[in-house]
């Protein structure tokens, strides 16, 4: 796996567990969500277990990859999993994050050095990409829990950069077909002080490139935490612009605020 990814997964799971263990209760609401703290924590515990089982080579169908089907699968799983108490959910989140790392390490022993394809809720991935998916998912819901409990969140530049492999791979899958229809544009996306990549829209398709696109219509420079929050639907582009977390330039700089609206956060 990329350097630091395992440490980031362990650290994020531990940070979420600490939030839950320090909470007075889990019945309070998650801002902007229909879930309570307990329901969001239960979803995280179940999702970590799902990804750990996938990493271990088990087939675990979970929706068809669309946001609607994933929401339905989430609701169904919560209906049959009744645990909402902080301590057991905190322990499960940490244990299942560790289980995914153990499964990944076992897969990469000298006798199993090839990285096979795993079928995940958002399509085929290798173990490293699945680990990046797990980290991204934990950070999104960990941010929600931190807001609900009035505590600092656990997102930082290093963790955001480790989410990038998953985010880039997921973009074509989570593009809003209606929104991208008829859009022709070339973007360069840059994280402030970090990496950059290209995204091209043409003919209703989305192509993500590790290389910068030739003559981009719009270059967007984003503060890393704001980038992840926008990618996960936790912050709007105008809010980020107003705070100075986004800068844009190029032949069509007005395309910058439109970019997040071209996707549906899973």
Residues 102 and 136 in one domain: yes
Q: What is the pLDDT of residue 107?
A: 81
CA of 161: how far to CAs of 22, 83, 136, 139, 144, in Å?
A: 28, 33, 10, 12, 20
Q: What is the pLDDT of residue 104?
A: 95
* Three-state secondary-structure class, residue 127: helix
Q: What is the pLDDT of residue 115?
A: 57
Residue 96 DSSP one-character state? H
Residues 20 and 143 in one domain: yes
Position 165 in a domain: no
Residues 136 and 14 in one domain: yes
Position 169 in a domain: no
Whose CA is closest to 117, among 169, 187, 180, 186?
169
Q: 12 pLDDT exceeds 50?
A: yes
CATH of the domain at 221: 3.30.1050.10
Residues 19 and 135 in one domain: yes
- pLDDT tier, 116 (very low <50, low <70, confident <90, very high otherwise): confident
d(CA 115, CA 99): 18
Interval 135-167: pLDDT, tens = 999 999 999 999 999 999 999 999 999 999 999
Q: Both tokens of residue 6?
A: 């395992």
Q: What is the pLDDT of residue 143?
A: 98
Interval 219-262: pLDDT, tens = 999 999 999 999 999 999 999 999 999 999 999 999 999 999 99
Q: What percent of the chain has pLDDT over 90?
A: 91
CA of 104: how far to CAs of 61, 120, 164, in Å?
A: 20, 15, 19
- pLDDT tier, 79 (very low <50, low <70, confident <90, very high otherwise): very high
Cα 137 from chain centre: 4
The pLDDT of 23-30, averaged and rounded, is 96
Position 216 in a domain: yes
The pLDDT of 40-54, averaged and rounded, is 98
Whose CA is closest to 84, among 15, 134, 30, 138?
30
Q: 110 pLDDT exceeds 70?
A: no
d(CA 199, CA 186): 6
Q: Which residue, 94, 122, 156, sits at the end of a domain?
A: 156
Position 167 in a domain: no
Residues 50 and 117 in one domain: yes
Position 43 in a domain: yes
Residues 138 and 222 in one domain: no
Position 166 in a domain: no
Position 183 in a domain: yes
Residues 54 and 26 in one domain: yes
CATH of the domain at 99: 1.20.120.450
Residues 31 and 125 in one domain: yes
Interval 171-221: pLDDT, tens = 999 999 999 999 999 999 999 999 999 999 999 999 999 888 889 999 999
Residues 145 and 46 in one domain: yes
CA of 261: how far to CAs of 41, 155, 208, in Å?
A: 27, 22, 16
Residues 75 and 186 in one domain: no
Q: Which residue, 86, 121, 156, sits at the end of a domain?
A: 156
Residues 147 and 26 in one domain: yes
Position 92 in a domain: yes
**Residues in the chain, total:** 266
- The sheet carrying 205-209 orders its strands as 205-209, 196-202, 185-191, 218-222, 246-249
Residues 197 and 252 in one domain: yes
Q: 111 pLDDT exceeds 60?
A: no
Q: 66 pLDDT exceeds 90?
A: no
Please report which residue ranges of the chain form alpha helices under DSSP H: 5-21, 37-55, 67-80, 86-107, 127-149, 157-174, 177-180, 224-231, 237-242
Q: How high is the mean pLDDT of the chain?
A: 94
Q: What is the pLDDT of residue 108?
A: 63
Tell me how many domains the chain contains.
2
Q: What is the pLDDT of residue 114?
A: 44
Task: Tell me which residue range forms the domain holding 220.
Answer: 175-262
């Amino acid at each position: 796996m990329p350097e630091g990814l395992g440490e980031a997964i362990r650290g994020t799971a531990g940070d979420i567990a600490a939030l839950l263990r320090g909470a007075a209760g889990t019945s309070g609401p998650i801002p902007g969500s229909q879930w309570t703290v307990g329901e969001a924590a239960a979803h995280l515990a179940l999702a970590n277990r799902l990804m750990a089982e996938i990493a271990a080579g088990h087939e675990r169908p979970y929706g068809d990859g669309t946001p609607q089907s994933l929401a339905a699968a989430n609701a169904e799983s919560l209906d049959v999993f009744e645990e909402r108490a902080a301590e057991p959910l905190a322990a499960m989140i940490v244990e299942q994050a560790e289980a995914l790392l153990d499964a990944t390490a076992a897969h990469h022993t000298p006798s199993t050095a090839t990285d096979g394809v795993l079928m995940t809720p958002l399509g085929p991935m290798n173990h490293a990409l699945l680990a990046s998916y797990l980290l991204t998912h934990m950070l999104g819901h960990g941010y929600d829990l931190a807001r609900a409990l009035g505590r600092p969140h656990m997102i930082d530049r290093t963790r955001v950069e480790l989410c990038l492999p998953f985010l880039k791979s997921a973009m074509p899958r989570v593009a809003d077909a209606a929104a991208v229809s008829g859009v022709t544009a070339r973007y360069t996306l840059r994280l402030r002080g970090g990496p950059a990549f290209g995204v091209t829209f043409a003919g209703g398709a989305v192509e993500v490139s590790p290389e910068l696109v030739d003559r981009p219509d719009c270059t967007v420079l984003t503060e890393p935490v704001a980038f992840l929050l926008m990618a996960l639907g936790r912050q709007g582009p105008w809010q980020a612009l107003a705070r100075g977390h986004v800068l844009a330039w190029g032949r069509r700089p007005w395309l910058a605020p439109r970019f997040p609206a071209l996707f549906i956060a899973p």
